[in-house]
Chains A and B, each alone.
Chain A
Amino acid sequence: MTVSQISVFAQSKPGHLARVLNVFEAAGANVRGFAVSDTGEFGITRFILDRPDIACDALKREGFAYIETQVLCLKLEDRPGELARVISLLAERNENVLYSYSMISTYIILATDNIEETKEILKDAGLRIITQADIEKANAIHAGNED
């Protein structure tokens, strides 16, 4: 009942994440979820893929430092309070969450040094940028308060 997660040694420098992703693409593995954090000069980038086996083979061949581990993947109900309920459940049983991230990889959060600049780059590339209002609206839909 676990899923495979691939954790790759990450260096905070332009191009590193792209190289990892190119390896996945060339191998034909599709990223379903990922987490990148700002731990400093180095860090760990975590990926969930449809084909972790071929992804690992490709990373190994290319000489990346990585490790495959097993993690849990939960499907939550999309309603206010659901995340709090699940996390509290674990807290009550004294289970410590080391890290957690959301897996719907077609909606991604990005933080960069210059948000405005990044936004322009992505907009120019024709990407759809979600607003706070979009998120609010989505909540409203699920709460049944749509007008």
Chain B
Amino acid sequence: MPTSSTNELSSKGVSQKQALFEAIKQKDFASFPIFDRSIECMPRKQLRELQLKKLQDQVAYTYQNVAYYRDLMDKSGVSPADIKTLDDVRKLPFTDKTALRDTYPYGLFAVNIDEIIEIHASSGTTGKPIVVGYTREDMQVWSDCIARLVQMAGVVPGDIAQMAFGYGMFTGGFGLHYGLQKLGCAMIPAGSGNTERHINMINDYGTTVLIATPSYAMHICEVGEKMGFDWEKSSLRIGLFGGEPCPPALKAEIESRMHIVCTDNYGLTEVMGPGVSGECLANRFQQHIAEDHFLWEVVDPQTGEPVSEGEEGELVLTPLDKRGIPVLRYRTHDLTRVTCEECECGRTHARMDKVRSRCDDMLIIRGTNVFPSQIEDVLAGIEEVTPHYHIIVETVNGMDSLTVETEVRPDKMTDSFEKMDAMRRRIAEKLKGTLLVGVNVRLVEPGGIERTMGKAKHIDDLRNA
């Protein structure tokens, strides 16, 4: 008889959840299923050979079908036949976001529009949107990449997955949707917004997996708490996060308050969407890159030259089998480090450190470089405040002024203004010690920093505004 009642689903969900927590605690990673063992656990030598073969084919395909790249390669005197080793990828030109923008909408497409079965676009907050098209083959690769990474995160066939990303043109919604279906999950296409309805659906439908931005997941958690919803007794077991970087402290907070296991995955519209890399449960600060589909490089963002192995630099990606829009050496502007060491989960694909900073979200304050991730790390070490923050940069009397807003934790309130102000000054001192520039700290009430359904906006740079 099919399982159908809410009670049955809920108790099944809770025991599944306890089993997952226990397996993680016991580090029993070998027992976790792997979606495509032959690829994901392929010996590295064999994987490199596969990559080279695919790279050669992909460069030839691109040269033949995209005038933009053919011209660029001809001008720099490089032909597809010059790709003899994986390192030869460096002979190819870089691609920046501007190339996709300048050729809006279909200039970089390698196929006729009748071969495209889906079109997505990036938000276009800075200029024209970027339009990407997928062939049937591309869609298969994409859902394959997602199916792998959700399985890596503990999702299994039969899970009930509730989508709290917006669908629309954003690649996150449909990308995760197709991949989760491919694995064998029941998709609930709830979309973003209407938080109380999300919580009621989790309760009534026995949802086991929630897909959201981390800041929206936090909001769902808080609203649920206010509604008196008991997360511990809920069937919800896994949070799949994306759309924005997930600060470790925020993840830890969501995991403990919602009683779920959360992972986040990485990707970008220009090379595919989500699915480029994902976190396994053995290494919670890194993500396995789908190396059979993406060739990675880490370069110095200034010179474009490769950094030494294991050093931090800008991630550059070349999709190895994209048919709709092949992109060569895409500059992500994301800073990371990559390691090829073996992982306890059994997968052989390289791991990148989670992206905490982008080359372009670095702020220059009175001549000093400041990354929002540094501020995140300092705040994570202060028990009186939550992981939520907002940065405001202004010009005051001709000088850069940096203000950090942070939320007081509800249970850290005191009845003494003096003590509260001393705490504020202590946070400012700690920030100054790390950032090496003076910072104004503004304490705000719990929940006072906006939780977004889309990408969290951590910075307001009002200089020259």
* Residues of chain A at the chain B interface (Cβ within 8 Å): 5, 7-11, 16, 37, 39, 41-44, 46, 60-67, 69, 98
Contacts and interface: CB of A to CB of B under 8 A. Distances in A.
B415 A16 contact: no
A1 to B, nearest CB: 19
15 contacts: A7-B414, A8-B413, A9-B420, A9-B445, A11-B445, A11-B448, A41-B442, A61-B226, A63-B222, A63-B225, A64-B445, A65-B413, A65-B445, A65-B446, A67-B415
Contact of B415 (A7, A10, A11): A7
B416 interface: yes
Given A63-B222, A64-B410, A69 B445 contact: no
A62 B408 contact: no
B443 A64 contact: no
Most buried by A among B226, B417, B421: B417
B408 A9 contact: yes
Contacts of A11: 444-445, 448
Contacts, number: 60
B412 interface: yes
A62 B321 CA distance: 51
B45 to A, nearest CB: 54
B447 interface: yes
A67 B413 contact: yes
B442 A67 contact: no
Contacts of A41: 442-443
Interface string B395-412: 000000000000011111
- On chain B, which size bracket covers the interface? 20 to 34
A65 B442 contact: no
Contact of B226 (A9, A16, A63, A65): A63
A42 B444 contact: yes
Given A11-B445, A41-B443, A42-B443, A65 B415 contact: no
Contacts of A9: 408, 413, 420, 443, 445-446
A7 B442 CA distance: 19
A65 B417 contact: no
Given A60-B410, A65-B413, A66-B410, A16 B445 contact: yes
Contacts of B408: 9, 65
Given A9-B408, A63-B222, A42 B442 contact: yes
Contacts of B447: 63
Nearest to A8: B413
Dominant secondary structure at the A interface: strand
Interface of B: 222, 225-226, 228, 408-417, 420-421, 424, 442-448
Contacts of A63: 222, 225-226, 410, 446-447
A112 B291 CA distance: 63
Nearest to B223: A63
Given A42-B420, A64-B445, 4 more contacts: A9-B443, A9-B446, A11-B448, A44-B420
B409 A65 contact: yes
B427 to A, nearest CB: 13
Contacts of A69: 415
A61 B447 CA distance: 12
Nearest to B407: A65
A16 B413 CA distance: 16
A65 B209 CA distance: 31
B442 A66 contact: no
A46 B415 CA distance: 9
A5 B413 CA distance: 13
Contacts of B424: 42
Most buried by A among B410, B412, B414: B410
Contact of B413 (A37, A61, A62, A66): A66
A64 B420 contact: no
Contacts of B448: 11
Contacts of B416: 44, 98
Closest 10 CB pairs between A and B? A65-B413, A67-B413, A7-B415, A65-B410, A65-B408, A69-B415, A42-B443, A63-B446, A11-B445, A9-B445
A69 B416 CA distance: 11
Most buried by A among B413, B421, B424, B442: B413
A22 to B, nearest CB: 14
Contacts of B444: 11, 42
B123 to A, nearest CB: 29
B414 A67 contact: yes
Contacts of B228: 61
Contacts of B421: 39
